[in-house]
């Protein structure tokens, strides 16, 4: 992998990741961009104990541009984009409209491919491996920022999810705190250790493998399953066999096998609802151990298990799972698809 760092016209960082060592990325950004102005503020909710990010400047962000004006495509004569080069393998840059900025953290955009019409599932294993390398490199860099406590790499795919740019891309959020969801997991992790003396992540994966009904696919170094208490209609968790706290700790064998299994999962997701259906909307999210704030938690970073959670809000053909009263008002999910049935369906579409 070759890494080339540069700056956009307004000072934001842009990094190219290339498979070829002889790739040259020196095209300057000639756009007359104004200085980036952000208004991010993290506020504390005294009732729930969590945090809310207020980011009013995002109201003016780019919204469903036509394909010939996509800001994530390579630049062309007469049409400059966020990527000055006329081609790239993978590119990462600071978001022009970040939810988190300065002392409130950082937000980055990860462009998986220059092909506007593609998706992550269309990548080769080699290119998907390069994306994994980029996620890992950015996790390492962002974790060193003084304000950052947790790094979150994720992809939103599909207009139904709320995506405003159709180009295949993901994002990285570097939070200045441990997210509420992770806080809940850490409390469960510590309580399980106190109660049993064992690791909760290890027990969950071992129970799923022993049961077998919800296993979707297994490799030598990864296991993918629908969790017993899945919140979403089709939800898969992907764990490395060897527990590690973050992407940086994956060994070479797990890194090599990951693209094969992950691409297969994504392709199955697009086959769940049958031929003729539009691409399945999904969220794909890496859960990594926080890099700080472990004092008094009853667990350490080594107890956390890196894993990826992939899920869709489509519950059946033409119908979405909406977060209505129970989910949005009380955070009690109601799932219409039994996890065992979801796993069976994801196994059925393996060879279609």
The helix, strand and coil proportions of the chain, stated in percent and rounded to the nearest 5, come to 30, 25, 45
Query: Do 169 and 227 reside in the same domain of the chain?
Result: no
The residue out of 175, 210, 229 marking a domain boundary is 175
Q: How many whole angstroms separate alpha carbon 265 and alpha carbon 342?
A: 13
Distance between terminal CA atoms of the chain?
34
Q: Are residues 9 and 97 in the same domain?
A: yes
Contact 274, 317 (CB under 8 A): yes
Q: Quick one: 35 and 171 in the same domain? A: yes
pLDDT (tens digit per residue) in 230-259: 999 999 999 999 999 999 999 999 999 999
| 170-219 per-position pLDDT tens digit | 999 999 999 999 999 999 999 999 999 999 999 999 999 999 999 999 99
Q: Are 257 and 323 within one domain?
A: yes
Q: How far is CA 271 from CA 151, 266, 268, 346, in A?
A: 31, 9, 5, 8
Q: Are residues 210 and 322 in the same domain?
A: yes
Distance of alpha carbon 187 from alpha carbon 274, whole angstroms: 40
pLDDT at position 319: 92
Domain shared by 158 and 194, yes or no: no
CATH code, domain carrying 305: 3.30.428.10
203 and 73 in one domain? no
Domain-ending residue, one of 175, 205, 226: 175
Question: What pLDDT score does 294 carry?
Answer: 86
Flag whether pLDDT at 135 surpasses 90. yes
Residue span of the structural domain in which 149 resides: 2-175
For the chain, give the percent of residues with pLDDT over 90.
Answer: 89
Could you tell me if 127 and 265 lie in one domain?
no
Tokens linked to 298 = 């009853």
Q: How many other C-beta atoms are found inside a 10 Å radius of the C-beta of residue 334?
A: 11
The chain-wide mean pLDDT, for the chain, equals 95
- pLDDT(344) > 90: yes
**Tokens 């070829």 -> residue:** 20
For the chain, what is the domain count? 2
Q: Are residues 185 and 326 in the same domain?
A: yes
Same domain for 315 and 234: yes
How confident is the model over 287-307, as a mean pLDDT? 92
Residues 147 and 195 in one domain: no
Q: Given this model, what pLDDT does residue 276 score?
A: 81
What is the DSSP code string of 152-194? Answer: EEEEEESGGGT-S--SSEEEEEEESS--HHHHHHHHHHHHHHH
- The catalytic site residues sit at 169
Would you say how long the chain is, in residues? Answer: 352
- Are both 81 and 210 inside the same structural domain? no
Task: Average the pLDDT over 23-50 and give the result.
Answer: 92
Q: What is the CA radius of gyration of the chain?
A: 20
Q: pLDDT-derived band of residue 113, with 50, 70 and 90 as boundaries? A: very high
Residue at a domain's end among 115, 150, 175: 175
- Cα–Cα distance between 326 and 331 in angstroms, integer? 6
């Amino acid at each position: 992998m070759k890494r080339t760092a540069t700056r956009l016209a307004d000072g934001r960082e842009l990094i190219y990741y290339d498979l070829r060592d002889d790739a040259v990325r020196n095209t300057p950004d000639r756009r007359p961009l104004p200085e980036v102005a952000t208004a991010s503020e993290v506020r504390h909710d005294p009732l729930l104990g969590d945090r809310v990010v207020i980011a009013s400047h995002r109201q003016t962000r780019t919204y469903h541009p036509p394909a010939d004006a996509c800001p994530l495509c390579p630049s062309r004569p007469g049409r400059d984009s966020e990527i000055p080069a006329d081609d790239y393998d993978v590119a990462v840059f600071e978001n022009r409209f970040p939810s988190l900025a300065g002392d409130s953290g950082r937000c980055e955009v990860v462009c998986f491919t220059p092909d506007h019409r593609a998706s992550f599932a269309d990548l080769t294993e080699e290119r998907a491996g390069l994306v994994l390398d980029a996620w890992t490199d950015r996790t390492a860099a962002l974790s060193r920022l003084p304000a950052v406590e947790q790094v979150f790499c994720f992809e939103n795919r599909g207009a139904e999810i709320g995506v405003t740019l159709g180009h295949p891309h993901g994002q990285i959020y570097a939070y200045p705190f441990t997210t509420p969801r992770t806080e809940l997991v850490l409390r469960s992790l510590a309580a399980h250790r106190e109660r049993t003396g064992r690791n909760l992540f290890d027990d969950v994966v071992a129970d799923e493998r022993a049961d077998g009904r919800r296993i979707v696919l297994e490799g030598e170094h990864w296991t993918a399953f629908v969790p017993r208490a899945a919140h979403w209609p089709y939800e898969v968790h992907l764990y490395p066999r060897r527990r590690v706290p973050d992407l940086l700790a994956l060994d070479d064998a797990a890194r090599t096998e990951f693209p094969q299994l992950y691409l297969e999962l994504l392709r199955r997701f697009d086959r769940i609802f049958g031929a003729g259906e539009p691409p399945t909307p999904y969220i794909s999210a890496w859960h990594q151990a926080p890099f700080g704030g472990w004092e008094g938690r009853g667990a350490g970073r080594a107890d956390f298990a890196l894993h990826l959670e992939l899920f869709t809000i489509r519950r059946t053909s033409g119908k979405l799972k909406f977060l209505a009263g129970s989910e949005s008002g009380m955070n009690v999910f109601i799932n219409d698809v039994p996890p065992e049935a979801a796993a069976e369906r994801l196994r059925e579409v393996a060879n279609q």
